[in-house]
């Protein structure tokens, strides 16, 4: 099937043709026809399989079929709920591309920025609303958004909603939606909590499962370096001596680790930026723009922030920290090797991460090729020194813990009947 055979309206088909879309991805091919008919859809597909078009195109088509809305009818008729700001912005960009020839207005709302411009756009009237849960609830509470006219509801990246703790916000939003509506539910994985939620909000859905989470694209070459943790930064700098690596997405387990790594690379004259949830919206957008444009060679990201990253022809992904969940590894390397393109996934495995590597290989049902020839191999002496370093850190942390306990105990005693003069004075000052 091609897009021209799906039966899209001419104005939408023209936009699709302009983007160079010819063959729908498996999730698009299976979901779009059912969604166009108004049927609920339950889609299980990993990141990078084309889910955004699978729900955006049917929304535009179904709303456009009703004709151009009059100004007083400009209220949200489609709601797309997604977990991160980056993903919300990406979905909005896609809707703008697919719907450029339609009459449908859309906007995006998310936290971390001023609500004033968002409220102004809402007041002008919109048809399609893309939102993150927190900001949506906030603006609903303030009376700026009413969901009673929603005809199509999309819950995107449901499993990530659960991971980020947003599932409770989602459950607060659901009762505000009309009971009679079309629901499109997408998730990369289907844990029990998410499966139960799907049963509650979907009516006789068409279930679609594409590219199970255990699969990795055949076009992505996967290699692993065994290296001790203290040498990982040096190994990364060594790898980046290869000038053919024009841009690379590096995954860090923690936000702090992402910031530290970006600073180390910058100091080594390797233009880098970090992106994670604690960064301001402006900083995140700037880092992503500079990476896409080639100004920054390395983008260091946490898993949650990377969910919103959509970069064409990204060839290299590197796991600086191996994830403790094997499914996360599959999602990470899914950022490269898209649409049949070649990609390379590089992983660094410390001795304490070997169980994670074993779990990953068990999930993907293949052995990852080990790179033996590199300047920082693991040696018995290196392991001994590393363990000594770990013990020193453990002792330092234990001493800090004891000192905090002593200070807390001393403070508690001073606050009792035997207050110090200073404590009494402080009490008088408070009164």
pLDDT tens track for 362-400? 988 999 999 999 999 999 999 999 888 888 878 887 888
- CATH code of the domain in which 266 resides: 3.40.50.300
Q: Using an 8 Å Cβ cutoff, are 371 and 242 in contact?
A: no
- Among residues 154, 178, 210, which one ends one of the domains? 210
Q: What percent of the chain has pLDDT over 70?
A: 90
Q: Buried (b) or exposed (e) across 328-354, using 16+ Cβ within 10 A?
A: bbbbbbbbbbbeeeebbbbbbbbeebe
Beta bridge pairs of residue 222: 345
- Among residues 175, 210, 245, which one ends one of the domains? 210
Shared domain for 241 and 148, answered yes or no, is no
Choose among 165, 159, 166: nearest CA to 195.
159
Q: Does 427 reside within a domain? A: no
Token pair belonging to 220:
């992505």
Q: Does 430 reside within a domain? A: no
Shared domain for 228 and 340, answered yes or no, is yes
Q: Which of 102-116, 214-228, 351-365 has the least mean pLDDT?
A: 214-228
Q: Does 44 reside within a domain? A: yes
Q: State how far the Cα of 78 lies from the Cα of 149, in Å rounded to an integer.
A: 8
What is the pLDDT at residue 300?
Answer: 95
Give the number of C-alpha atoms closer than 13 A to the C-alpha of residue 319, restricted to the C-beta side: 32
Shared domain for 82 and 156, answered yes or no, is yes
Shared domain for 182 and 236, answered yes or no, is no
What is the pLDDT at residue 122?
Answer: 95
pLDDT tens track for 128-184? 999 999 999 999 999 999 999 999 999 999 988 887 788 999 999 999 999 999 999
Q: Does 302 reside within a domain? A: yes
Q: Does 419 reside within a domain? A: no
Shared domain for 24 and 61, answered yes or no, is yes
Residue 426: pLDDT over 50: no
Q: How confident is the model at residue 419 (pLDDT cuts 50, 70, 90)?
A: very low
Q: How many domains does the chain have?
A: 2
Shared domain for 234 and 371, answered yes or no, is yes
Residue 15: pLDDT over 70: yes
| Residue 348 host element (H or E) | strand 343-349
Compute the average pLDDT of residues 96-122: 94
Q: Does 420 reside within a domain? A: no
Q: Does 231 reside within a domain? A: yes
Shared domain for 161 and 309, answered yes or no, is no
Choose among 302, 299, 235: nearest CA to 272.
299
Shared domain for 231 and 156, answered yes or no, is no
Domain span including residue 164: 3-210
Residue 74: pLDDT over 90: no
Give the Cβ contact number of residue 246 at 10 Å.
9
Residue 71: pLDDT over 70: yes
Q: State how far the Cα of 343 lies from the Cα of 280, in Å rounded to an integer.
A: 30
Residue 276: pLDDT over 90: no
* Cβ-based burial of 242 (10 A; exposed 0-12, middle 13-18, buried ≥19): exposed
User: Dihedral, CA atoms, 9, 11, 12, 13, nearest 10 degrees?
Assistant: 80
Residue 424: pLDDT over 50: no
Q: State how far the Cα of 337 lies from the Cα of 339, in Å rounded to an integer.
A: 7
Shared domain for 30 and 99, answered yes or no, is yes
Compute the average pLDDT of residues 177-195: 91
Q: State how far the Cα of 116 lies from the Cα of 112, in Å rounded to an integer.
A: 12
Token pair belonging to 256:
């702090």
Choose among 118, 117, 168, 166: nearest CA to 140.
118
What is the pLDDT at residue 423?
Answer: 43
How are strands ordered across the β-sheet holding 248-251? 272-275, 298-301, 248-251, 316-319, 343-349, 220-226, 369-370
pLDDT tens track for 23-42? 888 899 999 999 999 999 99
User: Dihedral, CA atoms, 279, 283, 284, 289, nearest 10 degrees?
Assistant: -170
Compute the average pLDDT of residues 106-122: 93
- CA 177 to the chain's CA centroid: 25
Return the higher-pLDDT residue of 368 and 112.
368
Using alpha carbons, list the distances in angstroms from residue 163 to 43, 189, 356: 18, 11, 19
What is the pLDDT at residue 45?
Answer: 80
* Cβ-based burial of 135 (10 A; exposed 0-12, middle 13-18, buried ≥19): buried
Shared domain for 188 and 232, answered yes or no, is no
Residues 6 or more apart whose CB falls under 8 angstroms from that of 194 comprise: 158, 159, 162, 187
Q: Does 418 reside within a domain? A: no
Q: Using an 8 Å Cβ cutoff, are 76 and 145 in contact?
A: yes
Shared domain for 189 and 230, answered yes or no, is no
Q: State how far the Cα of 3 lies from the Cα of 50, in Å rounded to an integer.
A: 13
């Amino acid at each position: 099937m091609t897009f021209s055979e799906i039966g899209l309206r001419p104005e939408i088909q023209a936009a699709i043709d302009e983007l160079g879309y010819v063959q729908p991805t498996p999730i698009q091919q299976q979901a779009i026809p059912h969604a166009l008919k108004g049927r609920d859809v339950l889609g299980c597909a990993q990141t990078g399989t084309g889910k955004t078009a699978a729900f955006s195109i049917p929304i535009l088509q179904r709303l456009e079929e009703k004709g151009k809305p009059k100004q007083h009818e400009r209220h949200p008729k489609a709601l797309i709920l997604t977990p991160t700001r980056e993903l919300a912005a990406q979905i909005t960009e896609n809707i703008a591309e697919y719907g450029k020839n339609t009459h449908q207005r859309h906007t995006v709302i998310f936290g971390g920025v001023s609500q004033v411009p968002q409220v102004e756009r809402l007041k002008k009237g919109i048809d399609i609303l893309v939102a993150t849960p927190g900001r949506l609830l906030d603006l609903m509470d303030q009376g700026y958004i009413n969901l009673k006219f929603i005809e199509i509801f999309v819950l995107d990246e449901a499993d990530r909603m659960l991971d980020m703790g947003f599932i409770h916000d989602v459950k607060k939003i659901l009762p505000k939606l009309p009971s009679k509506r079309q629901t499109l539910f997408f998730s990369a994985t289907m844990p029990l909590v998410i499966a139960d939620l799907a049963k509650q909000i979907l009516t006789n859905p068409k279930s679609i499962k594409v590219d199970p989470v255990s699969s990795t694209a055949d076009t992505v070459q996967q290699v692993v370096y065994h290296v001790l943790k203290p040498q990982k930064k040096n190994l990364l700098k060594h790898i980046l001596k290869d000038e053919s690596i024009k841009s690379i997405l590096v995954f860090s387990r923690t936000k702090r680790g992402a910031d530290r790594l970006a600073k180390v690379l910058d100091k080594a004259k390797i233009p880098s930026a970090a992106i994670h949830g604690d960064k301001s919206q402006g900083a995140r957008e700037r880092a992503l723009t500079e990476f896409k444009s080639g100004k920054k060679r390395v983008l260091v990201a946490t898993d949650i922030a990377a969910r919103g990253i959509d970069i064409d022809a990204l060839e290299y992904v590197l796991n600086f920290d191996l994830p403790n969940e094997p499914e996360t590894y599959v999602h990470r390397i899914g950022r490269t090797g898209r649409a049949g393109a070649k990609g390379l996934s590089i992983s660094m495995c410390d001795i304490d991460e070997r169980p994670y590597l074993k779990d990953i290989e068990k999930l993907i049902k293949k052995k990852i090729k080990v790179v033996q020839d590199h300047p920082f191999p693991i040696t018995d002496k290196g392991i001994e020194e590393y363990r000594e370093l770990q013990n020193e850190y453990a002792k330092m942390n234990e001493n800090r813990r004891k000192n905090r306990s002593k200070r807390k105990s001393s403070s508690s005693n001073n606050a009792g009947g035997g207050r110090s003069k200073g404590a009494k004075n402080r009490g008088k000052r408070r009164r």
